[in-house]
Structure 1
Amino acid sequence: MNKFITFLILIVLTTVVKAQSTTEEDRIKKTIETFFDGLHKGDSTTVSSTLHPTIKIQTTFSNKEGKKVLVTETKDKLLTNIANKNPQHTYLEKLLSYTIKIDGNLASVWTPYEFYLNDKFSHCGANSFQLFNDNGTWKIIYLVDMRRRSSCKAIQK
């Protein structure tokens, strides 16, 4: 009987720990989904709500000459670009998966993606997000994305 009770307690504790972890992962994923909802709609206020005031934003790609480039952008420039999105253009950054790692107040998220402009395939790559749990609210503190037009697994339409 003691073994059964011990076994039952272990199952309950494992379920509780897994549920707490899943909740944090869901909250982190929701922050990223909110970021992209704002991007797709051209809503800089929504995007801004997901960003920490001191966020660092970078993009990397290879230029036409094959040189590897790293570009740093300010939060203000990102938000201005989103706010000035041409309303006739549609953006869709289709996230293919999420890999989420959490340690206390720090989360790391890897999201491979395909990007479509006006329903036409534009490019693919991956995003790397670093998030900080700001007393109960996950905020993006670092965002870097990789962009390329070739070697994409996407079905180019």
Structure 2
Amino acid sequence: MKKIIFLALIFVNMSAFAQRQTPRELVDDFFEAFHAQDTTELKTFAHEGARLESVSIDAEGSTKLITGDYSKFLKGIASIPADATFEEKLHEFRVEENGPLATVTTPYSFYYNGAFSHCGVNSFQLVQFNGKWKIVYLIDTRTTQDCD
């Protein structure tokens, strides 16, 4: 009986630990699923209605803002050809947490089929719901200049 209680306590503690994923761990897991094109797993990281935006500067020097929703992002990931390769190399993580709100910023370089495509910064806005972090907003910048 003591063994059963002991195992039950271990299981409860492991379940509680799994619920306490950190903001950085969520973003790490997001990119692991992203590179695997695992849209089923990617869907679990976002709160329903999560928004995505991308900022860039066009040839005339004007700032462009493209807005989409998370489901459109998932469809885009699913549509990448199986023979294509892509990698988003993250250069660092900056994490700010305040209670149930967190911001994770990750400068990156993106490569498609082994060739440099663009660089920028991702900014993930996360909210903790019932002990679990979820993406509610993701904005990134994209440029091909000053990518050192």
TM-score by length of 1: 0.78
Task: Tell me, yes or no, if structure 1 residue 145 matches structure 2 residue 140.
Answer: yes
Distance, in Å, in 1 between the alignment partners of 2:46 and 2:115 is 28
Closer, same or farther in 2 for the Cα pair 1:60/1:123, shift >3 Å? same
Counterpart mapping for 1:5-154 below 5 A: 27-153=22-148
Greater relative CO, 1 or 2 (CA 8 Å, sep 6+): 2
Question: Number of aligned pairs?
Answer: 130
Percent identity, please.
Answer: 37
TM-score by length of 2: 0.83
Instruction: Using the TM superposition, give the Cα deviation of residue 56 of structure 1 relative to its aligned residue in structure 2, in angstroms.
Output: 1.3
Unaligned ranges ≥5, structure 2: 1-18
Partner of 2:9: none
CA RMSD of aligned residues (A): 1.6
**Where do 4+ consecutive residues of structure 1 move more than 4 Å?**
none
| Larger Rg computed on CA atoms | 1
Unaligned ranges ≥5, structure 1: 1-23
Instruction: Using the TM superposition, give the Cα deviation of residue 25 of structure 1 relative to its aligned residue in structure 2, in angstroms.
Output: 9.6
Partner of 2:8: none
Q: Return 25-34 or 123-132, whichever deviates more.
A: 25-34
One-letter amino acid of the counterpart of residue 46, structure 2: L
